[in-house]
Amino acid sequence: MNHKEKVMTLDEFTIQELRNYPGATGQLSGLLRDIGLAGKRVNVEVNKAGIADILGEAGKTNVQGESVKKLDEFANEQFINSLRTSIYCCGVASEEEEHFIAFTDEHSKKSKYVVLLDPLDGSSNIDVNVSIGTIFSVYRRLSPEGEECNLEDFLQPGTQQIAAGYIIYGSSTMMVYATRRSVQGFTLDPSIGEFCLSHPNLKCPPESDIFSVNVGYYYLYEERVRQSIDHFMARNENDRIYRHRFVGCMVAEIHRTLIQGGIFMYPAFGKYASGRLRLCYECNPMSFIMEKAGGMSMANSRQRLLELKPVQLHQRVPIFIGSKNMMETWKDIMNK
């Protein structure tokens, strides 16, 4: 961030965008600010989690049968409550909830947008103080304005996203979001409590020397996937040397890939024969961001992930995502 220039906050940036597009209603801008506010509340608890009674298990499981962390539960409540009190959202679907939630007040029913979110991605990292994050996506509703939203509003292919983003709670807290025009990154300045524009017009480098995959499941992956991993793990003197990284938090993986380039793979395997990560809450928003930044995202070697039509809210899929040139190399290997 160049401190010689005036720092632009998230609010100021969204207002400027409204001025640049006179036909805009301001609903999407308001919605992004509401999401940012909830993210700041979660950030406060993340920062004091080590000294507060908010680490560890909440004593129950979510709809996927996974153990719910206390901070997961807190984040879920914060984002849902922020969107419920907003006048820009008619309903929300959360990874932590079995069903979508339709907001029934008159202002919400007149809103244009629905939001899908993973309130706290990377829960297994909470107790060991490793990066975690929030993922969200925004769709224009299909149901008539003035009525309650319905399931079909949430089961749209990723190509129909109006905006998507994530908040990463790490050494600094950042909010990155994409619209159909660009990808923008904002860093939280704790001294003023505002997200400030720090990474304008983000672009994913087309090449990198980083690949990310959980090699612990190597022998459970299909042969072509193993061959692509072998390519990136090759250590012959004539081969390019790639660095392997794996954090166990999709937000952290995608954030690194967006900034430094690389390829992130989460194939289907074993009991996750249909994939491990969620199409609606994780893969679609991250794919939207990556494509708008110049990268690529695939569900398999021939299927663009954003074109998949969800059949259920908690559907899982494989994902292969990252720098354009590295993804093309991966596709060549997979399609031999």
Give the residue among 256, 247, 282, 265 at the shortest CA–CA distance from 130: 247
Residue 104 structure tokens: 């029934």
287 annotated ligand-binding residue: no
What's the full length of the chain, in residues? 336
Q: What is the largest CA-CA distance in the chain?
A: 66
71 annotated ligand-binding residue: no
95 annotated ligand-binding residue: yes
239 annotated ligand-binding residue: no
Give the residue among 284, 233, 263, 275 at the shortest CA–CA distance from 330: 263
Amino acid identity of 273?
A
Interior angle at CA 21, CA 18 and CA 27, nearest 5 = 45
20 annotated ligand-binding residue: no
For residues 46-75, one letter each, b for 16 or more C-beta atoms within 10 angstroms of the residue's C-beta and e for the rest, the string is: beebeeeebeeeeeeebeeeeebbbbbbbb
150 annotated ligand-binding residue: no
214 annotated ligand-binding residue: yes
- In whole angstroms, give the CA distance from residue 275 to residue 263: 17
Binding-site residues for Mg(2+), in ranges, read 95, 118, 120-121, 282
Binding-site residues for substrate, in ranges, read 121-124, 214
Binding-site residues, in ranges, read 95, 118, 120-124, 214, 282
